[in-house]
């Protein structure tokens, strides 16, 4: 008997700094439902509306087994496509349908993708501080906890900006100085690399904060420190610069956090201009397109490193892990160290041990949500500050 979709709902909650969107797809089989991640933390209400007002009426009554068809039809049903709001909404449904299929099969989702290529996923975590010594101390604490891959940042994205020489009456905002950032970060990376065991892998995220030519220089200057990878050195609008970097140095490059259109990653993969794809899985539309991206990237020797900070929900982290366990070209997984509240709110959230992320082997994605607890932590309606970035003269900049 065909099992159909009977309801689609968005669950908004905020157990930590980031606002999360979880999709719940209910079915005609009693007790059978699936969960997915649709988290676009800066636009949660837009995603909620896309789910509740557009996807829900379109999907009710349809066969839960036809995941590929539903993804394709959902993507084109709104005519305009490949935008972050729609992609995240579709992702929530897509992941929930994979969750349902795994539950019906009695298998974890990684088995449906093709089975394990590894027992656990190696992760990297974030070390930070106000100066190089604090970053070193932060990294050492993480290493003592068993992590072997550490992303090092200082003073937040763009670095500290307290001493900027601003124009009179400059507007408020999250200020940074790109040139000062380059100087201070190179000094920090040199310090940490010198002080830590060479076996510890270091990563750094430019977060598109530099002018393209300055980013090229930074990639050349940091080459000597042998990073595991340098992340998001250009904005999606500037990806043509990757060819220039490849001609200049051998610093490994990761890119894709802001990507939502296939044209943004296809050329970079085909021309082998990056080493890691690190898209936000819900941003590209869920497990279905992420699986295809991983296969495509593997053909050209490019590895996966899916986006995984706190603005990926626990359900999204579970989906990432299933992709990681399966993909033969898995590289590394970003990890955010969930709070006790998140583990309580999301039973089945993957666990970490000695720097590796392990699944729980339950059917589907293996994760649930305590909806009563989630309702006790509603999303805060705020105006984001960190995305209101400015250069020293007060002009707007990409965050």
Structure confidence at residue 81 as a pLDDT band (50, 70, 90): very high
Catalytic status, residue 157: yes
pLDDT, tens only, 103-132: 999 999 999 999 999 999 999 999 999 999
The answer on pLDDT for 100 being more than 70 is yes
Q: Which pLDDT does position 158 carry in this prediction?
A: 77
Catalytic status, residue 207: yes
Query: How many C-alpha atoms does 187 have within 13 Å on its Cβ side?
Result: 12
Q: Which pLDDT does position 76 carry in this prediction?
A: 96
pLDDT, tens only, 362-394: 999 999 999 999 999 999 998 888 888 888 888
Q: Which pLDDT does position 1 carry in this prediction?
A: 85
| Active-site entry in 126, 204, 207, 307 | 207
Average pLDDT over residues 60-66: 98
Instruction: Write out the two tokens for 107.
Output: 């298998």
Structure confidence at residue 161 as a pLDDT band (50, 70, 90): low
If one compares 308 and 156, the residue with the highest pLDDT of the two is 308
The answer on pLDDT for 186 being more than 90 is yes
pLDDT, tens only, 334-358: 999 999 999 999 999 999 999 999 9
DSSP state of 285: T
Average pLDDT over residues 183-203: 97
Count other Cβ atoms within 10 Å, centred on residue 144.
8
pLDDT, tens only, 197-229: 999 999 999 999 999 999 999 999 999 999 999
Q: Which are the contacts of 93, defined by CB distance < 8 A and separation ≥ 6?
A: 8, 23, 25, 36, 38, 51, 55, 59, 70, 74, 286
> Residue ranges of the alpha helices (H) in the chain?
44-49, 56-59, 67-77, 84-105, 109-113, 132-144, 178-195, 212-222, 242-248, 262-270, 281-284, 287-299, 314-326, 340-345, 371-375
Q: Which are the contacts of 390, defined by CB distance < 8 A and separation ≥ 6?
A: 170, 171, 173, 174, 175, 176, 396, 397
| Active-site entry in 45, 77, 157, 358 | 157
Sign, CA torsion 115/292/60/366: positive
The answer on pLDDT for 143 being more than 90 is yes
Domains belonging to the chain, first-starting first, are 5-106 (3.30.390.10), 112-368 (3.20.20.120)
Structure confidence at residue 162 as a pLDDT band (50, 70, 90): low
User: 176 — alpha (psi -120 to 50), left (phi > 0) or beta?
Assistant: beta
**pLDDT, averaged across the chain:** 96
């Amino acid at each position: 008997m065909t099992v159909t979709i009977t309801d689609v709902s968005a669950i908004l909650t905020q157990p930590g700094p980031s606002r999360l969107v979880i999709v719940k797809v209910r079915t005609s089989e009693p007790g059978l439902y699936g969960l997915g991640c649709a988290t676009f933390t800066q636009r949660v209400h837009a995603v909620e509306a896309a789910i509740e007002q557009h996807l829900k009426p379109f999907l009710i009554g349809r066969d839960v087994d036809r995941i590929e068809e539903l993804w394709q039809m959902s993507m084109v049903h709104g005519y305009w496509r490949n935008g972050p709001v729609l992609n995240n909404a579709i992702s929530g449904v897509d992941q929930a349908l994979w969750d349902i299929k795994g539950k019906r099969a009695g298998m974890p989702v990684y088995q449906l993708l093709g089975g394990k290529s590894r027992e656990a996923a190696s992760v990297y975590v974030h070390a930070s501080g106000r100066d190089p010594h604090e970053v070193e101390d932060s990294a050492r604490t993480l290493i003592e906890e068993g992590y072997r891959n550490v992303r090092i940042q200082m003073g937040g994205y763009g670095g500290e900006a307290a001493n900027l020489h601003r124009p009179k009456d400059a507007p408020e905002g999250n200020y940074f100085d790109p040139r000062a950032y380059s100087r201070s970060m190179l000094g920090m990376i040199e310090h940490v690399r010198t002080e830590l065991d060479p076996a510890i892998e270091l990563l750094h995220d430019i977060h598109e904060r530099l002018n393209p030519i300055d980013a090229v220089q930074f990639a050349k200057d940091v080459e000597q420190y042998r990073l595991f990878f340098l992340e998001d050195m250009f904005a999606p609008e500037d990806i043509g610069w990757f060819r220039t970097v490849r001609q200049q140095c051998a610093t490994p490059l990761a890119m894709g956090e802001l990507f939502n259109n296939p044209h943004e990653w296809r050329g970079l993969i085909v021309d082998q201009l990056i080493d890691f794809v690190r898209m936000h899985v819900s941003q590209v539309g869920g497990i279905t397109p992420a699986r295809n991206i991983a296969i495509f990237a593997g053909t050209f020797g490019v590895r996966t490193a899916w986006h995984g900070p706190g603005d990926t929900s626990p359900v999204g982290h579970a989906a990432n892990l299933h992709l990681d366990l399966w993909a033969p070209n898995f590289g590394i997984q970003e990890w955010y160290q969930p709070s006790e509240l998140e583990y309580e709110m999301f039973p089945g959230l993957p666990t970490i041990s000695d720097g590796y992320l392990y699944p729980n082997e339950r059917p589907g994605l293996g994760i649930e949500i305590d909806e009563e607890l989630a309702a006790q932590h509603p999303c805060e309606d705020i105006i984001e500050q960190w995305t209101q970035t400015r250069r020293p003269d007060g002009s707007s900049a990409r965050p």
